[in-house]
Structure 1
Amino acid sequence: MKKYLLSFALVLMSLTSFAQSDYEKIMSEKIAKIETCKTAEDFQTLANDFQRIGSKESSQWLPAYYAAFSYIQKGRIMMRDGKMQDLDGVASQAEKHLAMAQNLAGADNAEIRLLKKMAYSLRMMVNPQQRYMTDGMRASEELNIAQKLDPANPRIALIKAEDIYFTPEQFGGSKTKGLEMFKEALAKFNAYKPKTTLDPNWGKGEAEYFLSLPAEPSK
């Protein structure tokens, strides 16, 4: 009887290991697509893919995280294209998946907190003057929480650099200071090691892109 129980346990362990490796394989493939997505439609397709993975792997927080990230990236492209009135819907989708991810990973997850900041920032951009004291302040709060949880996280440094770079000078922004902060972010990326191969590791290329831009002429 013990022999049969042992055999059953070994088979069960083998099936579990196979399922886990299959999950990691498909997640790795989808995460790699983040770098190749160019349009809002590309990111919508990717968000759908992560949603399907999450429906099968209901105990894993990363599929919901990446679904939210895909929606945020979709929103950032829409913002670049001037489609501001559609950002609320995209932010709502991102926030729905972030709530799922946070429920699984816990509130003390800096990566999730950073995406919550980015989702609030999307909402604020619908009408910055009216929403700065609501969505803008919520975005700042989430960024501060993320910073306290993981001060060495390069993605936090990247988003802070972006905020300074794109904020008009009359409101405290500075392209020069932003570029210095991108340098600091890149240094953090070079020293950073994700916990697993599936954990968030995006953003380094963005820091490198901004640092490759030609310097603006002095005024």
Structure 2
Amino acid sequence: MKKYLLSFALAFMSLTAFAQADYEKIMKEKIAKTETCKTAEEFQTLANDFQRIGSKESTKWLPPYYAAFSQIQKGRLMMRNGDMSGLDETANLADKYLSSAQNLAGADNAEIHLLRKMAASLRMMVNPPQRYMTDGAKATEELGIAEKLDPSNPRIALIKAEDTYFTPEQYGGSKTKGMEMFKDAVAKFNTYKPKTALDPNWGKAEAEYFLNMPAK
């Protein structure tokens, strides 16, 4: 009987290890696509893919995190193209995924709070004068939480640099100061090590893009 139990246990361990390897392989492939998507439709497809992975891997926080990230990247692309009509829906979907991720990872995850900040910023951009005191305040609150939890996180430095760079000077922004902050973000990226191969590691190419822009 002990022999059969041992065989069963070994077989179960092998299947578990195989399933984990398969999960990591699929996740790595999908995460790599977050750097290559060019259209809102491609980001939506990617968000759907992560959502499906999350439905199978219901104890892991990274699939809903990346589903939210894909939605936010979709929204940022829409915003750059001048399409504000779908930002509310996109931000709401991102928040839905982030709630799932936070339920699994806990409330002290800086990466999740940073995406909550980014989702709130998207929502604010639909009507900045009307939403600055609500969604703008939410974005500031979430960024503050993220920075308190992980002050050396380069993605937090990147988003702060973007906010400073794109905010008009009359509202406290500065392109010059923003560029200095991008340098700080790149320096943090150069020493940053993600906890695992699947943990968030995006943003360095974006920071370097700003630093490599021709001087105006």
Using structure 2 for the length normalisation, give the TM-score.
Answer: 0.99
C-alpha separation in 2, matches of 1:73 and 1:178: 21
Paired amino acid for 1:16 = T
The structural deviation recorded for 1:3 is 1.0
Question: Is 1:204 equivalent to 2:213 in the alignment?
Answer: no
The structural deviation recorded for 1:215 is 1.7
Matched with 2:49 is: 49
Paired amino acid for 2:82 = G
Structure 2 matches for 1:186-197, cutoff 5 A?
186-197=186-197
The structural deviation recorded for 1:85 is 2.4
Paired amino acid for 2:49 = D
Structure 2 matches for 1:22-61, cutoff 5 A?
22-61=22-61
Paired amino acid for 1:136 = G
Paired amino acid for 1:72 = I
Matched with 1:91 is: 91
Paired amino acid for 2:39 = T
Paired amino acid for 1:202 = W
C-alpha separation in 1, matches of 2:141 and 2:106: 17
Paired amino acid for 2:30 = K
C-alpha separation in 2, matches of 1:66 and 1:159: 17
Paired amino acid for 2:98 = L
C-alpha separation in 2, matches of 1:100 and 1:74: 19
Structure 2 matches for 1:133-152, cutoff 5 A?
133-152=133-152
Q: Mind listing any 5+ residue stretches in structure 1 that lack a counterpart?
A: none
Paired amino acid for 2:133 = M
Paired amino acid for 1:212 = N
Paired amino acid for 1:159 = I
C-alpha separation in 1, matches of 2:132 and 2:104: 30
Q: Which moved more, 1:134-143 or 1:82-91?
A: 82-91
Using structure 1 for the length normalisation, give the TM-score.
Answer: 0.98
C-alpha separation in 1, matches of 2:42 and 2:203: 18
Runs (4 or more) in structure 1 with deviation over 4 Å come to none
C-alpha separation in 1, matches of 2:32 and 2:214: 29
Q: Which moved more, 1:80-89 or 1:8-17?
A: 80-89
C-alpha separation in 2, matches of 1:54 and 1:200: 16
Question: Is 1:81 equivalent to 2:81 in the alignment?
Answer: yes
C-alpha separation in 1, matches of 2:32 and 2:68: 16
C-alpha separation in 2, matches of 1:82 and 1:134: 22
Question: Is 1:154 equivalent to 2:154 in the alignment?
Answer: yes
Percent identical = 79
Paired amino acid for 2:184 = E
Structure 2 matches for 1:116-131, cutoff 5 A?
116-131=116-131
